[in-house]
């Protein structure tokens, strides 16, 4: 049982390059989330998708776009990467009607030089 | 956005109970208290949650004050593997926008 799977796990980008972080969950969860965590800091919500076909901004959406491709997949795109976007990115998902318990992936380490 | 206040860091001796406090003085009636922890740089892991009553599971106990303005997470017999950042969050039933608190960095000492 894979749970929440993120790819890639590590990536180095040059300033101005674009890339997409992929997230897939195999638990049939309705809601999905993207967080970032800067070194030594807490988690900040970037975007979330309450259900398939919907997306909403979180605390720090600037510089990112998301796509809820289907129920399983929720991607995060950086159109023009900046050094300030160097961070660990976590994807998470939540089942319908299960309170507020969310399940996290293992993270994607992104460095922008 | 909902806020909680936690100490930045705490130490605990191995084998002793770790008591992690959380202040949520403006909590609303429909908001639950949720605790998560993050070991090293892994994805956070759910520990326990509660509304009014004290709760216990295989990982921890959650004590919520009668006025619900604060709570304490108790790890009854801390081990070195409990060293982690512990997040106390207040989330309403039916919400989707999960904002995390700043967390307490717990260090369990041998």
B42–A106 C-beta distance less than 8 A: yes
The C-alpha of A14 sits at a distance from chain B's nearest C-alpha, in angstroms, of 24
Average pLDDT over residues B13-20: 97
Return the percentage of chain B with pLDDT > 70, whole number.
Answer: 98
- pLDDT band with cut points at 50, 70 and 90 for residue A1: low
Q: Which of residues 36-65 of A touch B (CB under 8 A)?
A: 37, 42-45, 48, 50, 56, 58-59
| Contact residues, chain B, for A50 at CB < 8 Å | 96
Alpha-carbon gap, residue A96 to B33, rounded angstroms: 19
Band the pLDDT of A107: cuts 50, 70, 90: very high
| First vs last C-alpha separation in chain A | 35
Beta-carbon separation of B49 and A99 below 8 A: yes
Task: Specify the long-range contacts of residues B14-17, CB closer than 8 Å, at least 24 apart.
Answer: B14/B78, B14/B79, B14/B80, B14/B108, B14/B109, B14/B110, B15/B77, B15/B78, B15/B79, B16/B77, B16/B78, B17/B74, B17/B75, B17/B76, B17/B77, B17/B78
Strands A74-78 and B18-23: unpaired
A64-68 β-sheet, strand order: A4-7, A19-25, A74-78, A64-68
Nearest CA in chain A to B87: A42
């Amino acid at each position: 049982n894979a749970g929440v799977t993120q790819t890639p796990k590590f990536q180095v980008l040059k300033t101005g390059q674009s890339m997409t972080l992929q997230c897939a969950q195999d638990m049939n969860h309705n809601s999905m989330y993207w967080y970032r965590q800067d070194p030594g800091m807490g988690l900040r919500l970037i975007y979330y998708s309450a259900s398939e076909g919907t997306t909403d901004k979180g605390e720090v959406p600037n510089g990112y776009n998301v796509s809820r491709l289907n129920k399983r997949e929720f991607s995060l795109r950086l159109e023009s990467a900046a050094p300030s976007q160097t961070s660990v990115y976590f994807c998470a998902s939540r089942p319908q009607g299960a309170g507020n318990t969310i399940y996290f992936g293992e993270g994607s380490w992104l460095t922008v030089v | 956005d909902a806020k909680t206040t936690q100490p930045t860091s705490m130490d605990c001796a191995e084998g002793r109970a770790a008591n992690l406090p959380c202040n949520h003085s403006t909590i609303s009636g429909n908001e639950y208290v949720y605790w998560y922890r993050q070991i090293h740089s892994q994805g956070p892991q759910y520990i326990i949650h509660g509304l009014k009553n004290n709760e216990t599971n295989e990982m921890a106990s959650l004590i919520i004050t009668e006025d619900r303005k604060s709570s304490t997470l108790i790890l009854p017999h801390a081990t070195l593997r409990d060293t982690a950042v512990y997040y106390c969050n207040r989330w309403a039933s039916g919400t989707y926008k999960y904002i995390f608190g700043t967390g307490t960095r717990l260090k369990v000492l041998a």
